[in-house]
Amino acid sequence: MSRYLRRRTAKNLYEQYDDMLEKRGVKSIEQYRTPKFKYFDEDDIRKIDFIEYAWRNGDTFWKLAKKYLNSPSNWWVIASLNKKPTEAHIEIGEVIKIPLSLAQVLQVIQ
């Protein structure tokens, strides 16, 4: 199932885009809205078994999710657990938490 099926959309009607829209021959562009990101609270984190991992150059959430959680689509679990919405919010050498069990994480957030 596509992750976009339940996402809300919005039309981009800002005046600053008028020239671009005119060049494309459209009146507006429908875009997916940015979803609200749920972070784990400290009580939830205590219920999850995790390893500590030192962030290295070239790391991404999706690469770590593929390696440790068996699917790159589970990147959001690592991001949420560490309260880091993107990789740009992590410094090289910073220690992050990587859960050992996706099933355990899903049980905690339900």
Residue 4 sits in the same domain as residue 47: no
How many separate domains does the chain show?
2
Residue 63 sits in the same domain as residue 81: yes
| pLDDT for the residue numbered 30 | 82
Residue 69 sits in the same domain as residue 98: yes
If you write DSSP's letter for every residue of 27-66 in order, what string do you get? S-EEEEPPPPPPPPPHHHHHTS-EEEEE--TT--HHHHHH
Expressed in angstroms, the distance from the first to the final Cα of the chain is 20
Range of the domain at 95: 42-109
Which residues 6+ apart lie within 8 Å of 54 measured at CB? Answer: 93, 94, 95
Q: How many helices (H) and strands (E) does the chain have?
A: 5, 4
| pLDDT for the residue numbered 84 | 93
Determine the 3-state secondary structure of 9 from DSSP. strand
Residue 6 sits in the same domain as residue 47: no
- Tracing tokens 């919405």 back to the chain, one arrives at 85
Determine the 3-state secondary structure of 10 from DSSP. strand
Chunk the chain into consecutive blocks of 10 residues (it has 110) and report each block's average pLDDT, rounded to whole numbers: 72 83 87 74 90 97 96 93 93 97 87
Q: Could you tell me the pTM of the whole model? A: 0.67
